[in-house]
């Protein structure tokens, strides 16, 4: 193994893994596929260890390759943060903040801090990527996003929670739902007789309910499964059944009297949490740091 290696070669490995093949990486880099293969081979030679594995569906990183990609992402993130800090020292208030978030946080973010932030920092652009909990955590851990908003994230050594807010899960129902008007809180089992609309299993909300199923020894069979919180709300608005969400996700509908939140007596649901997350060890840029302050004071889900 050489005592040094050419760091510029890592970009070829990164592109090949991200895109799944040498040819796709070559197209992205506008070079020949053989050049991509050659650079990765030279990197493997310098490090004296295999970095990729070839499969019928493309290529995957070895354990060593994964370590190198993590190093590359961290170096790239540190460079971006450094440039942002240098801009700040020069008196510039510009940059980009990238936020990955669950769809349930979108209205809370846009109607609160994002509007004010956009006025106060016109030269800072914002990128919002919406996805399930698993996808949000991946984007944050791989520095594709500066920060993320997730509901009850699973433990991950690569992720730290900068803010945590208790956000109990309620049964969300329409005005004519049979249990509305009766004294609560209710048992989760009291809702099983009604049609259910739930998220896919990659969403934090569904993962909470799966844990409730195991704890309560019940089975929640959804009549509708979706990756859209809008569809969940519409399902209930049309009085087709019930769903389970924290109040901040349906705040405007609750205020308008279109939907109603019924309390559920279940410890897991009562202690659910919203998290603002970043990668462990990540130092936020000027733009991301400012956005975090606005989010902390302006989002109902983080209060």
108 and 143 in one domain?
A: yes
Structural domain boundaries, residue 38: 7-68
Cβ-based neighbour number of residue 67 at 10 Å: 13
Residues 6 or more apart in contact with residue 270 via CB below 8 angstroms: 168, 169, 264
pLDDT value at residue 52: 85
Number of domains in the chain: 3
* DSSP labels, 6-62: -GGGHHHHHHHHHHSSHHHHHHHHTS-HHHHHHHHHHHHHHHTS--EEEETTEEEE-
Give the H or E element holding residue 120: helix 115-120
* CATH number of the domain to which 129 belongs: 3.40.190.10
- Which of 26, 53, 68 terminates a domain? The answer is 68
176 and 240 in one domain?
A: yes
pTM for the structure as a whole: 0.71
298 and 176 in one domain?
A: no
193 and 159 in one domain?
A: no
262 and 184 in one domain?
A: yes
237 and 173 in one domain?
A: yes
User: Is 153 a domain residue?
Assistant: yes
Rounded Cα gap, residues 271 and 208, in angstroms: 10
pLDDT value at residue 181: 85
278 and 154 in one domain?
A: yes
- Which of 28, 52, 68 terminates a domain? The answer is 68
User: Is 159 a domain residue?
Assistant: yes
Report mean pLDDT in 10-residue bins for the chain, 303 residues.
Answer: 72 84 84 85 86 82 86 76 64 76 93 89 90 92 92 90 95 95 91 95 92 95 94 96 96 94 96 94 83 91 89
> What backbone torsions phi and psi does residue 166 show, to the nearest 5 degrees?
-70, 125
User: Is 160 a domain residue?
Assistant: yes
């Amino acid at each position: 193994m050489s005592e040094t290696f050419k760091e510029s070669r890592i970009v070829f490995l990164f592109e090949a893994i991200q895109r799944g093949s040498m040819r796709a990486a070559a197209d992205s880099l506008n070079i020949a596929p053989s050049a991509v293969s050659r650079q990765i081979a030279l990197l493997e030679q310098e490090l004296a260890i295999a970095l990729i594995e070839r499969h019928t569906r493309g290529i995957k990183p070895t354990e060593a390759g994964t370590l190198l990609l993590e190093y590359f992402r961290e170096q790239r993130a540190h460079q971006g943060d450094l440039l942002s800090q240098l801009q700040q020292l020069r008196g510039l208030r510009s940059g980009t903040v990238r936020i990955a978030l669950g769809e349930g946080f979108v209205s809370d973010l846009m109607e609160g801090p994002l509007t004010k932030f956009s006025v106060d920092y016109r030269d800072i652009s914002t990128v919002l990527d919406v996805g399930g909990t698993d996808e949000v955590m991946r984007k944050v851990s791989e520095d594709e996003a500066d920060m993320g908003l997730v509901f009850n994230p699973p433990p991950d050594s690569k992720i730290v929670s900068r803010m945590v807010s208790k956000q109990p899960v309620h049964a969300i129902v329409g005005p004519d739902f049979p249990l509305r008007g009766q004294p609560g809180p209710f048992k989760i089992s009291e809702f099983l007789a009604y049609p259910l609309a739930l998220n896919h299993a990659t969403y934090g909300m569904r993962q909470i309910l799966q844990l409730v199923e195991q704890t309560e020894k019940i089975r929640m069979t959804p009549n509708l499964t979706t990756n859209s919180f809008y569809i969940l709300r519409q399902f209930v608005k049309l009085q087709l059944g019930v769903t389970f969400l924290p109040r901040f996700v349906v705040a405007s509908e609750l205020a308008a009297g279109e939907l109603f939140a019924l309390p559920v007596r279940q410890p897991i649901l009562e202690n659910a949490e919203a998290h603002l997350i970043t990668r462990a060890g990540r130092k936020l840029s000027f733009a991301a740091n400012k956005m975090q302050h606005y989010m902390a004071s302006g989002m109902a889900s983080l209060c």
